[in-house]
C-alpha cells in the first residue's frame, strides 16, 4: 500500500517538473540558459521528490510502528484479560475444592463422633493423632492433652503390647484400668492406617466398653448357679429339719430328766440346735424366698431408721444421707429391711477403725437406685464374683448367706444388685422398680 502511494507522489512531481520545464524554456531565449534552467529544474525536482518521499516514508514508518505498537498493546491487554479470567476461574475452582474438602472433613468428623465405639489413630511412633469423644469418655482422658502424646499415656496392658508389636487384631478382649482406677473390660480391634498410596503410616484402634455386658453375663451366670444352689439348699434344709426336730425333742427331755451336773450339757445342746435351726431357716429363706407383698415404702425415714438401728456405739462411724430419688416406692418392707440391713451391717463391719457410710437414692428411668458406699479397705478383686454365692464368707463365724439372701430378695422385686470396690472403699448399688 505504501509503494502505490510513493508511485503516485513521484508521478505528480514529474508532472509538475514537466510543467515547470515548459514554463522556464518558453521564457528563456538562449540555448545555454534553457539548458541551465533544465538542469536546475531537474536537480530541484529530484531533491524535492526525494525529500518528500523520504519524509512521507518516515511518516508511514511511524504510523506503521504506532499501528504495530497498538496491535501489540491490544494483544497484550487481551492476553492479560484472558489471564485474569483464567485466574478468576482457578480461584473459583480452588474455593470449590476447599469447600468440598472442608465438607468432607466435617462429614468425617461427624461420623467419627457419632459412632458408639472409641476410635484412636496413632502414627508410626505410637503418638496419638486423633481420638473421638467416645474414646475420651470410655478411657477418661482429655483429648487436648492426649493428642500428640505417647500411647502409653492413655493405654496399657495387652492393647498397648499389640500396638507396640504392630499386630493386626480383628477381635480381642482385655481388661484395662483407667487413670481414676476404674476397671473396664474392652473389646478391641487394631488395623493398619494406610495413605492413598497404600503405604502404612500408623495404626487404628477401635474399642467398645463391654463392662456392662460382662456384668450382665456374670449376673446371669450367678442366677443360674444360685438357682441350682437354691434347689440343693431347699433339699438339704428339708432333710436336716426332720432329724433336727427329733434331736431338739430328745434334748428337751434330757434337760428335764438329767441330773443337775448334766444340765449345762443339755443347755449347750439346745443352744447349738437353735443355731443350726437358724442356719436352716436361712437356707430356706435363700432357696425359697416368699413372694413380695408390695406396699408403699417411704424411703428416707425407712433408710435412716435401718442405719441408725444398726450403727455400733463408739465405733467412730458416721452415716451420710443424700435423697434424690422418689419419696415413696412400692415394695415389701419386711424383705427390704432384711436385704438392706445385711448391706449396712457389712459396711459397718468393713470399717472396724471407723469411717463413713454414704447412703443415697437417685431416680434412673423407672427405677430407684439405692447406693451404700463405705470407706473401708475394699473387697479383693479375686473374690468379688463370689460374694453373692451362698456359704461363701471371709468372716469368722459367718454363714455366707447374708449377701446371697439379699441378692435373692432384690431379684424377687424385679431389681438388680451390683458391687464396685477399690482401695478407697466398696459400693453396693441396688436397683428397684419404682412401681
Q: Residue 209 — pLDDT band, cuts 50, 70, 90?
A: confident
How many Cβ atoms are within 10 Å of 375's Cβ, its own excluded?
A: 18
pLDDT averaged over the chain? 77
Say yes or no to pLDDT of 26 above 90: no
Domain stops at, among 154, 185, 209 = 209
Domain residue limits at 427: 295-433
* Residue 74 belongs to some domain of the structure: no
Q: Residue 66 — pLDDT band, cuts 50, 70, 90?
A: low
Distance of alpha carbon 428 from alpha carbon 374, whole angstroms = 9
Quickly count helices (H) and strands (E) in the chain.
Answer: 10, 12
Q: Tell me: do 267 and 302 sit in the same domain.
A: no
- How is 160-199 classified by DSSP, letter by letter? HHHHHTT--EEEEEEEEE-TT--EEEEEEEEEEEE-TTS-
* Residue 229 belongs to some domain of the structure: yes
Q: Tell me: do 324 and 429 sit in the same domain.
A: yes
Distance of alpha carbon 201 from alpha carbon 178, whole angstroms = 27
Measured at the alpha carbon of residue 385, what is the angle toward residues 381 and 388, in degrees to the nearest 5?
Answer: 130
Lookup result for grid cell 482457578: 90
| CATH number of the domain residue 408 falls in | 3.30.565.10
Specify the pairing of strand 128-131 against strand 295-298. Answer: unpaired
Q: Tell me: do 340 and 281 sit in the same domain.
A: no
Domain stops at, among 209, 235, 253 = 209
**Burial classification of residue 132, based on how many CB atoms lie within 10 Å of its CB (0-12 exposed, 13-18 middle, 19 or more buried):** buried
* Residue 163 belongs to some domain of the structure: yes
* Residue 429 belongs to some domain of the structure: yes
| CATH number of the domain residue 222 falls in | 1.10.287.130
The cell for 174 is 482385655
Confidence at residue 64, expressed as pLDDT on a 0 to 100 scale: 62
Q: Tell me: do 225 and 277 sit in the same domain.
A: yes
Q: How far is CA 217 from CA 125, 176, 360, 412, in A?
A: 38, 18, 27, 19
Domain stops at, among 287, 306, 322 = 287
Distance of alpha carbon 105 from alpha carbon 111, whole angstroms = 10
Q: Tell me: do 266 and 371 sit in the same domain.
A: no
Q: Tell me: do 301 and 283 sit in the same domain.
A: no
Say yes or no to pLDDT of 390 above 80: no
> Which of 1, 8, 4, 9 has the alpha carbon at shortest distance from 55?
9
Confidence at residue 340, expressed as pLDDT on a 0 to 100 scale: 93
Say yes or no to pLDDT of 17 above 80: no
| CATH number of the domain residue 159 falls in | 3.30.450.20
Residue 209 bridge partners (DSSP): 186
**How many structural domains compose the chain?**
4
* Statement: the pTM of the whole predicted model exceeds 0.95: no
Q: Tell me: do 418 and 365 sit in the same domain.
A: yes
Whether the Cβ atoms of residue 426 and residue 394 lie closer than 8 Å to each other: no
Instruction: Give the largest CA-CA distance in the chain.
Output: 205
Q: Tell me: do 119 and 31 sit in the same domain.
A: no
- Side-chain-side CA neighbours of residue 428 (13 Å): 25
How does pLDDT run across 269-321, given as a tens digit for each residue?
Answer: 777 777 777 666 666 665 566 678 889 999 999 999 999 888 887 778 999 99
Q: Tell me: do 276 and 331 sit in the same domain.
A: no
* Residue 2 belongs to some domain of the structure: no
- Secondary structure class of 209 (helix, strand, coil): strand
Amino acid at each position: 500500500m505504501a509503494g502505490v502511494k510513493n508511485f503516485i507522489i513521484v508521478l505528480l512531481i514529474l508532472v509538475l517538473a514537466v510543467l515547470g520545464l515548459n514554463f522556464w524554456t518558453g521564457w528563456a531565449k538562449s540555448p545555454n540558459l534553457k539548458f541551465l534552467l533544465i538542469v536546475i529544474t531537474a536537480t530541484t525536482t529530484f531533491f524535492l521528490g526525494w525529500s518528500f518521499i523520504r519524509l512521507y516514508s518516515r511518516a508511514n514508518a511511524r504510523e506503521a510502528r504506532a499501528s504495530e505498537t497498538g496491535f501489540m498493546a491490544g494483544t497484550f491487554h487481551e492476553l492479560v484479560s484472558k489471564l485474569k479470567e483464567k485466574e478468576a476461574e482457578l480461584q473459583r475452582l480452588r474455593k470449590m475444592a476447599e469447600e468440598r474438602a472442608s465438607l468432607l472433613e466435617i462429614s468425617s468428623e461427624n461420623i467419627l463422633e457419632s459412632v458408639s465405639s472409641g476410635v484412636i489413630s496413632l502414627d508410626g511412633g505410637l503418638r496419638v493423632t486423633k481420638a473421638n469423644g467416645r474414646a475420651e469418655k470410655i478411657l477418661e482422658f482429655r483429648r487436648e492433652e492426649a493428642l500428640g502424646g505417647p500411647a502409653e499415656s492413655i493405654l496399657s496392658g495387652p492393647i498397648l503390647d499389640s500396638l507396640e508389636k504392630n499386630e493386626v487384631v480383628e477381635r480381642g478382649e482385655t481388661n484395662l484400668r483407667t487413670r481414676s482406677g476404674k476397671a473396664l473390660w474392652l473389646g478391641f480391634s487394631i488395623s493398619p492406617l494406610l495413605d492413598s498410596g497404600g503405604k502404612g503410616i500408623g495404626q487404628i484402634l477401635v474399642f467398645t466398653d463391654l463392662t456392662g455386658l460382662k456384668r450382665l453375663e456374670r449376673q446371669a451366670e450367678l442366677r443360674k448357679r444360685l438357682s441350682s444352689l437354691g434347689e440343693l439348699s431347699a433339699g438339704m434344709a428339708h432333710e436336716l429339719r426332720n432329724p433336727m426336730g427329733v434331736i431338739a425333742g430328745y434334748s428337751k427331755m434330757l434337760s428335764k430328766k438329767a441330773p443337775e451336773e448334766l444340765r449345762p450339757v443339755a443347755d449347750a445342746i439346745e443352744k447349738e440346735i437353735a443355731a443350726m435351726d437358724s442356719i436352716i431357716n436361712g437356707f430356706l429363706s435363700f432357696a425359697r424366698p416368699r413372694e413380695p407383698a408390695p406396699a408403699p415404702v417411704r424411703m428416707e425415714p425407712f433408710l435412716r431408721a435401718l442405719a441408725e438401728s444398726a450403727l455400733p456405739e463408739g465405733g467412730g462411724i458416721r452415716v451420710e444421707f443424700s435423697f434424690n430419688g422418689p419419696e415413696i416406692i412400692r415394695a415389701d418392707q419386711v424383705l427390704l429391711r432384711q436385704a438392706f440391713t445385711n448391706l449396712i451391717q457389712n459396711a459397718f463391719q468393713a470399717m472396724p477403725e471407723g469411717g463413713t457410710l454414704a447412703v443415697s437414692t437417685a431416680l434412673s428411668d423407672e427405677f430407684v437406685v439405692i447406693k451404700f458406699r463405705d470407706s473401708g479397705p475394699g473387697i479383693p478383686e479375686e473374690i468379688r464374683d463370689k460374694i453373692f454365692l451362698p456359704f461363701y464368707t471371709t468372716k469368722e463365724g459367718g454363714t455366707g448367706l447374708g449377701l446371697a439372701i439379699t441378692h435373692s430378695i432384690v431379684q424377687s422385686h424385679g431389681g438388680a444388685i451390683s458391687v464396685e470396690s477399690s482401695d478407697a472403699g466398696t459400693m453396693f448399688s441396688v436397683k428397684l422398680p419404682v412401681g
